[in-house]
Amino acid sequence: MSREVEEMNRRLLRARDAMDRAYAEPLNVPAVAAVAHLSEAHFIRCFRAAFGETPHRYLQRRRVERSMFLLRETERSVTDICFDVGFTSRGTFSRMFREIVGEAPSDYREGHGPMVAPNCFQLWAMRPRMAAGPATQSSSFGDDGAAAAP
């Protein structure tokens, strides 16, 4: 029993790494599920059970983290950053950013300068937790529900 869980975790982690490598590209769930040797629906369920959120939500927070990095460290426009990290609409990006970070992208940039922590620590530690409470969370990916995790 334990061995199966460990092997499943390892495959899910491998799939999660694949998502992180291609975070700016459109999420291809069947392809990522295939990395874990799972069907799409099973992959989404197992990913959430292991990591506390759906693949879609994980990727959203990764993209927002990368946009936070670019806002702090570069002069690129908010619109350019939006597309750099894989969002396809400025409106969606701003709404998602505000929902997750708690302020607008331009306000975040205003309040933060470049960080000196190495890249690996930023990737590891800077992914934002949900700033908004449960009442204001919304999801277009069908992962809402009483048990929705941030």
Binding site for other proteins (CB under 8 A): 2, 5-7, 9-10, 12-14, 16-17, 20-21, 50-51, 118-120, 124
**Minimum gap (Å) between residue 44 Cβ and other proteins:** 17
Residues 6+ apart with CB under 8 A from 6: none
Cα 72 from Cα 57, distance rounded (Å): 23
Nearest to 56 by CA among 145, 140, 112: 140
Q: Which is nearer to other proteins, 9 or 137 (CB)?
A: 9
**Minimum gap (Å) between residue 11 Cβ and other proteins:** 9
Q: Which is nearer to other proteins, 20 or 110 (CB)?
A: 20
Q: Which is nearer to other proteins, 13 or 104 (CB)?
A: 13
Token couple for 106: 């331009």
